[in-house]
Amino acid sequence: MADGAAEDAGDGVDALDSYRQFFALEPDVLVLSVAMLVFSLAFQMTTRYVPEYMYTLGAGAGIVGLYGSLGNLISAVYPYPGGALSDRVGSRVALTAFAVVTTLGFVVWAVAPNLPAISVPVVALGGLELGGTLGPWIWVFVGLLLTQAWKSFGLGATFAIVKQSVEPGRLAMGFASTEIFRRVGFLLGPAIAAVVLAVYEFRVGFRYVLLLAAGFAAVATVAQHVLYDVDEEDTVGDSFEGLDTIRSDLRDLPETLRPLLVADTLIRFANGMVYVFFVVVVTRYLDVGFTGFGVSIGPAAFFGVLLSVEMAVAILTKVPVSALAERTGLKPVVGLGFLVYAVFPVLLILAPANQWVLVALFAFSGLRFAGLPAHKALIVGPAEQDTGGRVTGAYYLVRNTVVIPSAAVGGLLYGGDWTLRVAGASVTAGPELAFSLATAIGLVGVAYFALFGREFEAYANG
């Protein structure tokens, strides 16, 4: 912490005191937080709409599911080398490079409809013919490889910066700092997208949104590089030394992380099955717009409003809940977030096509983010000093590797044309099956964490 105020914070925590602590954090954490705000704004203006964008470019549920699984693959592969690289060259250089690549990715998405189709040889496989001409949606996959660089490659660096700058018993508050700025971006980004999409037809309007996102990302890249004043000689840890380093880091994961990792993986797999279809459920399955307060907007713009409602709840609850974690411990707060993650899919798919029901559901969904600072503290807290980047990368490598196929599985369930009959009962593919199964798997993860989850020692006594 930057001053002595943090030392007295545990004596009496209230919401206003928590926000004062938040603004007293180290400058490096605040610079990182501002960068997170702008990049998150760019991401949330765009990424939650990309599945709908792919539908307009000719893709179906199966292709959208593959897109989601590629995103999961990136989330699995990028963090570890990103964390190792930041440990080697320093957080400032690494984050700047990742930011430049991300900015380019938004541009690729924006020009995708104007890029040529790609023809691949047709291959017969098990009676199926694969290949032929791939529509412009294929460039969305290319853009995805680029746009995720800052968020996924830079994950270890951002965790390590917070760990270096904040006392062990204040990690949840430190992560609340970055999370609040990030979630403000999550709030503003969809709102900006909603305004643009309320004016323009989706395919045209979303390309404007993508260009705006590229502009925001470029500004954040420059600001982050100029304002982040880390000592370049003080890197986070040791250099990367190959696969042996990965095996060593996985073997040496702190014991407290293992039950968290199992539960988190189950819940993220469940969420990954349906996450890319949230926008499709609102715009196509429920087909709900909004009328009221003198305005009338279509489903695509309304989805942006719903995301902003979700983030408003997340922002309002994040710091108070992080402060609460300092009294109750991290485990109850993390468990609450896991529970909301698990039950939201089935609530959404069974919801009536009513605008106010959706507003209430997305407000409820915002509570899942309240546990994220505590979750991050539970991940990086047990790590030894100067290993925060690699511990974080190893944790996410395992979790996200298992989660890779989730969206593809969800796509097969969501858009499949089949019925399975077992013991006289039948199960039919469709949105209801995909979302209900996601909730069932998520609840298994919640139960596992409740039974076996461990508390971080710095929070064990409240």
**Residue 233 pLDDT class (50, 70, 90 cuts):** very low
State the average pLDDT for the chain.
80
pLDDT classification of 101: cutoffs 50, 70, 90 = very high
- Asked if pLDDT for residue 107 goes beyond 90, the answer is yes
Distance from chain centroid for Cα 33: 16
Taken in order 176, 182, 188, 194, is the CA torsion positive or negative? negative
Percentage, residues of the chain above pLDDT 90:
43
- 49-63, 203-217, 252-266: lowest mean pLDDT where? 252-266
Q: What is the model's pLDDT at position 113?
A: 94
DSSP state letter for 282: I
Question: What tokens appear for 5 in the block?
Answer: 């105020």
Query: What is the value of pTM for the model shown?
Result: 0.81
Give the mean model confidence (pLDDT) for residues 149-169. 60
Nearest by Cα to 410 from 266, 263, 277, 268: 277
CA proximity to 19, closest of 416, 317, 432, 420: 317
Average pLDDT, integer, range 210-221: 93
Q: Are strands 128-134 and 118-125 parallel, antiparallel or unpaired?
A: antiparallel
Structure tokens given for 389: 């980047």
At 32, the pLDDT band (50, 70, 90 cuts) reads low
pLDDT interval class at 131 (50, 70, 90): low
Write down the residue that tokens 């719903």 correspond to. 306
Q: Which pLDDT belongs to residue 83?
A: 65
More reliable by pLDDT, 234 or 257: 257
> For residue 150, with 0-12 CB atoms within 10 Å meaning exposed, 13-18 middle and 19 or more buried, which class applies?
buried
pLDDT reading at 223 higher than 90 = no
Query: Measured between alpha carbons, how far is 338 from 341 in angstroms, rounded to an integer?
Result: 5
Take residue 380 and report the two structure tokens written for it. Answer: 């990086």
Sorted by sequence, the CB contacts under 8 Å of residue 425 that are 6+ apart come out as none
The residue that leads in pLDDT, 80 or 10, is 80
Select the more confidently predicted residue: 212 or 223. 212
pLDDT in tens, 412-460: 999 988 788 877 778 888 999 999 999 999 999 999 999 998 775 544 4
Instruction: Please state, in angstroms and rounded to a whole number, the distance separating the CA atoms of residues 306 and 314.
Output: 13
- pLDDT-derived band of residue 143, with 50, 70 and 90 as boundaries? very high
The tens digit of pLDDT for each residue in 303-334 reads 999 999 998 998 888 778 777 777 778 888 88
Q: What is the CA radius of gyration of the chain?
A: 22
Checking if the pLDDT of 222 tops 60, the result is yes
Which is more confidently placed, 172 or 374?
Answer: 374
Instruction: Output 4 or 250, whichever has higher pLDDT.
Output: 250
Question: How does residue 114 score in pLDDT terms, banded at 50, 70 and 90?
Answer: very high
Mean pLDDT (whole number) for 92-115: 90
Residue 445: per-residue pLDDT: 97
Task: Give the chain's domains with CATH numbers.
Answer: 18-119+132-229+258-459 (1.20.1250.20)
